[in-house]
Amino acid sequence: MWLGWDVLRRPAALGASTEPMSSSRGQIMLKGAGISGLNPKALLLYFSLFPQFIDPTGGWPVAAQTGLFGTLHMTACALVYLAVGVLARTVLKTRPTAARAVTRASGVMMIAIGAFLLVERLAG
């Protein structure tokens, strides 16, 4: 709830930075891949979803099947995140009112989710 209130109180302003980037694009991509790869939710996917699609008696070894599924999943995620990022940047840069609406909506949603979790915690 605090994060939502902070977003509503001080929304981020979109604009071009005058400071030069401290890292190259490759370093930024590598950092993002590392952070995403260390996400514990990714392990849940591998341990809960992939095993039902792996056939130990199939023609491919289990490690190859796991590698293929993992590569397909990472490729699909990369394409979706790239498309969302490019479209969001394009739309929000050209429409500042849309950027403000998205910021306000995200702040309200953070507060609503926090309130829901608080009520559930107090009730349970």
Task: List Cα–Cα distances, 107 to 1, 104, 115, in angstroms.
Answer: 9, 5, 12
**Global pTM?**
0.55
Residue 87 belongs to domain spanning: 2-11+22-123
Q: What is the mean pLDDT of the chain?
A: 83
Give percent above pLDDT 90 in the chain.
Answer: 20
Contact of 100 with 11, CB cutoff 8 Å = yes
Residue length, the chain?
Answer: 124
Domain count, the chain: 1
C-alpha gyration radius of the chain: 20
* 17 domain-assigned: no
- Residue 16: inside a domain: no
pLDDT value, residue 114: 94
